[in-house]
């Protein structure tokens, strides 16, 4: 606690909800840089962030803050008021200049500032300088209003300069769609990121007021799905998500060493579309797919692909299943000595391939090794028409890694197709012969290698 706050004998227990205690100590210990704080209404995530920024500036004479929303007009009555609340709740209002008309708060003893900016005018963000110190704190309020992670990253690159330590807050109510860029980015792993979710259920009724509870419970009883999204911050989905079985995590070198059922797929591309090459392990017994290697490049020649990437990765020269739409590229790679064959595409092959992937218990992707593959699988979603209805068929865009994975698993998909045509029910005393099943599969896959599916 800062000396001025201590003089006023304000306890943090009175301004920070219990669900944020661990986050507070994480910040105090300097463990992470990026804090992704999601939650529903009344979760007090914005209150917590405002308290941390005020405390942080008063404790560090070189610290300044920049608070951002997508649209500038929303700053004065949202984040600025929230920070003024924090100043007054901490009992340090005498030490702060809080002009009504200007989008700035100044710590009077040192001249440190909290500035407010709208991302609709990014040039003003790039040219920002402080008379003393640097931008230690950055706060993106209502993160889901921003266009993309690329937009946020560009702002961070401009602001995160000239200081030894940075703390970036991202606060938002998770969008409904699991494939929204915010929900997707949250799942990607970074060692300097802490992800935290909170709800009003961990907040004292005295803080929220009885009427808040009444409104929340009424919505819970009358419109439970809306309640889950608005008050619990649950990703309820739009109904258009294609893959709900994706898991993002690190796949260790030790795991990879134990992989035995390796599949490799290649989707050609060059100028407009990227080339995508993926390596994966298919655990047939547990219906799990592990994707741990990718090449995802624009304007890459077949020669560079083979000599700079595939030859080093595929040391045993095991077969690669490629898009048969480019026989010239396949032939070129064969001339280099690569073992490769194309898949023959037939009617409904895309649909069957995607259904096979959907039927898996889990598609596990290492996003550090395969960032583009993770992005594609997490964001692949049915398209909508002008009336907001879902279109038939699967979109043929942003699916290059998905296609290469389908090609790699073409033989496995055919077994899935055949088994779906022969429904049966096991008798109570049925005991599968796993060894026989594996042998049957291997024989079947061999027979189907020239099938008309791809």
Catalytic residue annotation: 142
DSSP E strand stretches across 190-318: 193-198, 246-248, 262-267, 275-283, 288-297
What is the distance, to the nearest Å, from the Cα of residue 112 to the centroid of all Cα atoms in its chain? 34
What values do phi and psi take at 326, rounded to 5? -125, 75
What is the distance, to the nearest Å, from the Cα of residue 394 to the centroid of all Cα atoms in its chain? 22
CA 244/CA 445 separation, integer angstroms: 27
Contact predicate 194/49, CB 8 Å: no
Contact predicate 289/283, CB 8 Å: yes
The secondary structure of residue 13, as a DSSP letter, is G
Residue 250, CB half-sphere, CA atoms under 13 Å: how many? 6
Instruction: Report which of 392, 357, 390, 389 is spatially closest to residue 376, judged by C-alpha positions.
Output: 357
Contact predicate 446/341, CB 8 Å: no
CA 244/CA 187 separation, integer angstroms: 13
CA 175/CA 144 separation, integer angstroms: 7
> Residues near 75 by Cβ (< 8 Å), separated by ≥ 6?
67, 69, 103, 116, 117, 118
CB atoms within 10 A of CB 167: 20
CB atoms within 10 A of CB 43: 27
Length of the chain, please?
454
Instruction: Report which of 59, 50, 88 is spatially closest to residue 1, judged by C-alpha positions.
Output: 59
CA 405/CA 409 separation, integer angstroms: 6
Ramachandran area for residue 63 (φ above 0: left; ψ -120 to 50: alpha; else beta): beta
* Cα 407–Cα 412–Cα 418 angle in degrees, nearest 5: 120
Burial class from Cβ neighbours inside 10 Å (0-12, 13-18, 19+) for residue 190 reads: middle
């Amino acid at each position: 606690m800062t000396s001025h706050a201590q003089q006023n004998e304000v306890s943090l227990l009175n301004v920070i909800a219990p669900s944020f205690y661990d986050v507070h100590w994480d910040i105090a210990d300097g463990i992470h840089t990026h804090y992704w704080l999601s939650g529903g209404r009344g979760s007090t995530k914005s209150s917590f962030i405002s308290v941390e920024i005020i405390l942080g500036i008063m404790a560090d004479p070189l610290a300044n803050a920049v608070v951002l929303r997508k649209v500038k007009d929303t700053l004065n009555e949202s984040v600025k008021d929230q920070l003024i609340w924090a100043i007054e709740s901490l009992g340090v209002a005498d030490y702060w200049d809080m002009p009504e008309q200007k989008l700035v708060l100044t710590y009077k003893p040192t001249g440190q500032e909290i500035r407010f900016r709208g991302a609709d005018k990014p040039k003003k963000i790039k040219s920002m300088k402080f008379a003393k110190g640097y931008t230690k704190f950055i706060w993106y309020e209502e993160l889901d209003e921003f266009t993309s992670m690329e937009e946020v990253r560009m702002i961070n690159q401009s602001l995160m300069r000239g200081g030894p330590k940075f703390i970036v807050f991202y606060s938002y109510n998770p969008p409904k769609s699991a494939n929204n860029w915010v929900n997707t980015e949250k799942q990607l792993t970074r060692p300097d990121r802490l992800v935290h979710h909170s709800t009003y259920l961990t907040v004292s009724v005295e803080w929220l007021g009885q009427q808040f509870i009444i409104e929340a419970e009424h919505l819970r009883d009358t419109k439970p799905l809306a309640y889950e999204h608005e008050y619990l911050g649950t990703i309820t989905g739009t109904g258009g998500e294609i893959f709900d079985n994706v898991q993002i995590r690190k796949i260790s070198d030790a795991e990879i060493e134990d992989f035995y059922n390796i599949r490799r797929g290649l989707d050609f591309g060059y100028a407009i579309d990227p080339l995508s090459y993926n390596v994966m392990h298919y655990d047939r017994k547990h219906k799990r797919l592990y994707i741990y290697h990718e090449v995802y490049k624009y304007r890459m020649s077949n020669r560079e692909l083979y000599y700079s990437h595939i030859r080093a990765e595929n040391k045993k020269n095991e077969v690669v299943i490629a898009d048969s739409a480019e026989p010239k590229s396949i032939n070129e790679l064969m001339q280099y000595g690569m073992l490769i064959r194309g898949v023959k595409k037939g009617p409904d092959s895309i649909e069957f391939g995607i259904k096979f992937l959907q039927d898996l218990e889990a598609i596990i992707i290492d996003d550090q090794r395969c960032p583009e593959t993770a992005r594609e699988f997490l964001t692949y979603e049915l398209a909508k028409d002008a009336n907001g209805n879902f279109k038939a068929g699967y979109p043929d865009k942003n699916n290059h890694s998905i296609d290469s994975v389908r090609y790699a698993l073409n033989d496995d998909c055919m077994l899935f197709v055949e088994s779906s045509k022969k429904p049966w029910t096991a008798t109570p005393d049925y005991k599968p012969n796993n060894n026989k099943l594996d042998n049957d599969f291997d024989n079947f896959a061999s027979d189907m290698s020239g099938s008309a599916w791809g």
